[in-house]
A = this chain, B = another copy of it.
Amino acid sequence: MSEDHLGAAKGLRVGEIVDALGGDLRGDAQHQVLRIASIERAGAGEIAYLSHSSKRGWLNSTQASSVILPADLEAEAKRFKAAILTPDPYLYYARLAQWFAELLAEPEVAGVHASAVVDSGAHLAPGAVIGPCAVVECGAVIHDAAHIGAGCFVGRNAIIGQGTRLHPRVVVLAGCTLGERCIVHSGAVIGADGFGYARDEHGAGVKIPQTGGVRIGNDVEIGANTTIDRGALDDTRIGDGVKIDNLVQIAHNVQIGPHSALAGCVGVSGSARIGAYCFIGGGVGIAGHLEIADHVVIGGMSLVSRSVRLPGHYTGAFPLDTHQNWSENAATLRHLSQLRRRVRQLENKLDTQALPDLTKP
């Protein structure tokens, strides 16, 4: 349960919330909120949010004592001790949750844990935190308020920007750079070698040393066990504000524009370039050396095998069906171009058989 995890509750008055985050207050400005809860499970002292007026049914059953409501639900506000009306309750919730998270955060003590192994040639800002069993190599730079979690590895000459947090067991290899306020989740590997081989005369792979780096902007979040490979000669580049979910593979020399988001299990092949403000659905595969324009949405599990030049929503995924139906349709699909030819033959037959005459006796 979140309570256990979050520790002793510290409250906020609804009035001070609205003073800081905006919105229209209805009800008691002195009402004390202990924490945020989902509208399904909220109880006394908890604030919930309703993302959209279409979900207003929940207002009948919720036990929340205060709520964040879409602006068009003003009439419902009076049911609660306090309500905040705002055009975008989800965004409001995000900001309020960040505030609570700060309130409840464990205080951190800057410095290097006794069990960490930090090379004497590494550069640590005074406010940096290095967790237990972390390893920081020579020439690495850890900026102020950066947090290197337990068991992380930061290689030679890597740079970790101000306020960036590496959760436990993240690996950042030599020469890679993370900007400010990034969050990297456990198990992520940044800067492993790209997958590059020439083939020799006998067909065996000859490794191409990967001597580029990885360059990650500010406010980037990288999911658990995600991998971002270093470039072959130039750098792999991730723009400001990019959000990458878990178990995503970013190959060498990929470029991702600012504020794009990649859901879980996406694979991006080498040298692909993804624009800004894109959303790549879960499990999507993106082939190498192609370009995706800004503001492109790719539906889950699609394969992007050629460049997408125009903004829009694209999909390519086999529709789910009962195995029996799928099996019949899939069998037919294997002869689809033949079926098209048969249709054309039928059309030709009907055209050439003087069909217009048919209606004239």
Please give the residue numbers on chain A whose beta carbons come within 8 Å of chain B beta carbons, in ascending order. Answer: 1-2, 4-6, 35-38, 40-41, 88, 90-91, 93-95, 97-98, 100-101, 106, 113, 115, 117, 131-133, 135, 149-151, 153, 155-157, 167-169, 171, 173-175, 183, 185-187, 189, 192-193, 195, 197-200, 203-209, 211-213, 219, 221, 223-225, 227, 229, 231-235, 241, 243, 245-247, 249, 251, 259, 261, 263-265, 267, 269, 277, 282-283, 285, 287, 297-306, 308, 312-337, 339-340, 342-343, 346-347, 349-350, 353-355, 357-359, 361
Contacts and interface: CB of A to CB of B under 8 A. Distances in A.
18 contacts: A2-B211, A2-B213, A5-B211, A97-B209, A135-B168, A186-B189, A193-B221, A203-B259, A205-B243, A223-B227, A225-B225, A267-B282, A303-B317, A312-B322, A313-B322, A315-B322, A325-B337, A328-B336
A355 B357 contact: no
Given A285-B283, A316-B319, A336-B332, A113 B117 contact: yes
B224 A189 contact: yes
Contact of A235 (B1, B243, B334): B1
A339 B337 CA distance: 10
Contacts of A264: 195, 227, 249, 251, 267, 269
Closest 6 CB pairs of A and B: A5-B175, A316-B320, A192-B224, A94-B198, A101-B209, A328-B337
Contact of A203 (B213, B277, B323, B331): B277
Given A93-B198, A101-B211, A329-B336, A205 B287 contact: no
A329 B334 CA distance: 7
A305 B285 contact: no
A121 to B, nearest CB: 12
A329 B180 CA distance: 45
B5 A156 contact: yes
Nearest to A49: B233
Given A285-B282, A321-B334, A323-B299, A171 B198 contact: no
Given A2-B213, A247-B227, A167 B192 contact: yes
A72 to B, nearest CB: 18
Contact of A91 (B199, B265, B314): B199
B333 A322 contact: no
B303 A301 contact: yes
Given A38-B232, A333-B336, A339-B339, 20 more contacts: A2-B211, A2-B231, A2-B235, A5-B174, A38-B234, A98-B207, A135-B168, A185-B192, A185-B193, A187-B227, A195-B223, A205-B241, A249-B282, A297-B323, A300-B303, A315-B321, A321-B334, A329-B336, A342-B347, A354-B359
